[in-house]
């Protein structure tokens, strides 16, 4: 009986751990039904775990520069796809496709990018 109780407790604990890990990787805040193309200048590229971030200055319709935050994948998986900490450098001209934030704030989930030299990264079509 003690063995069954121990197995049940361990199983329950593992289920909780998996659920919290999956919650961390939620993309619920992004609108996956929409794609927005941003064209601007890289402010900063943050090559950090658990996800990289690209800060981009994008002029709005009135010409005012707005700062967008674009979330990418983890550095480990991105490095296997050819990304490096220098993939995006401050001052680089870039076009980036994102799934925008559902709440309309200036951010999105990275889909793909096109650099000034024509190099494409991610899913750029």
State how many domains the chain has.
1
- What does the alpha-carbon distance between residue 28 and residue 101 come to, in Å, rounded to a whole number? 9
pTM beyond 0.85: the answer is no
The neighbour count for residue 15, using CB atoms within 10 Å, is 10
Structural domain includes residue 114 = yes
Residue that is written with structure tokens 């999105």 in the block: 108
Structural domain includes residue 71 = yes
Q: What is the CATH number of the domain that holds 51?
A: 2.40.50.1010
- Structural domain range at position 99: 36-122
Query: What is the pLDDT tens value at each position of the chain, 125 positions in all?
Result: 667 755 556 656 555 544 444 445 678 999 999 999 999 999 999 999 999 999 999 999 999 999 999 999 999 999 999 999 999 999 999 999 999 999 999 999 999 999 999 999 999 88
- What does the alpha-carbon distance between residue 62 and residue 2 come to, in Å, rounded to a whole number? 69
């Amino acid at each position: 009986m003690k063995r069954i109780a121990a197995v049940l407790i361990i199983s329950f604990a593992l289920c909780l751990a998996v659920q919290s890990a999956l919650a961390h990787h939620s993309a619920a805040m992004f609108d996956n039904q929409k794609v927005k193309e941003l064209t601007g200048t890289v402010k900063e590229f943050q090559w950090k775990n658990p996800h990289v971030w690209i800060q981009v200055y994008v002029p709005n319709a009135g010409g005012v520069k707005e700062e967008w935050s674009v979330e990418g994948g983890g550095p480990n998986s991105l490095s296997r796809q050819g990304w490096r900490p220098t993939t995006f450098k401050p001052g680089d001209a870039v076009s980036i496709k994102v799934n925008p934030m559902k709440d309309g704030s200036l951010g999105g989930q990275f889909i793909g990018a096109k650099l000034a030299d024509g190099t494409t990264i991610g899913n750029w079509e």
